Amino acid sequence: MNNRQKELLRILLVQNERTLNSKDLAARLAYSEKTVRNDLDRLEYYLSEYPSASFILKPNRNYSR
């Protein structure tokens, strides 16, 4: 896991909002939405080893933990 993905995971874990969309995450990280979506895919793969951890994808690309 690279530093960008670690920071993305940290944001998701400490968020106060119920959901975040890829546009908001991209703005917080100063990366493109495509990069954020790719990182979320990679994080989902890493988390697949832990059944109690997952991302929830909602319509309009909103994410929650």
Cβ-Cβ contacts under 8 Å for 2 (sequence gap 6 or more):
none
pLDDT tens-place string over residues 11-48:
988 877 677 888 889 999 999 999 998 998 899 888 88
Q: What is the pLDDT of residue 61?
A: 56
Q: What is the pLDDT of residue 16?
A: 73
Q: What is the pLDDT of residue 47?
A: 86
Structural domains of the chain, with CATH = 3-64 (1.10.10.10)
Residues 11, 28: contact at Cβ < 8 Å?
A: yes
Examine the pLDDT at 62 and tell me if it is beyond 60.
no
Examine the pLDDT at 64 and tell me if it is beyond 80.
no
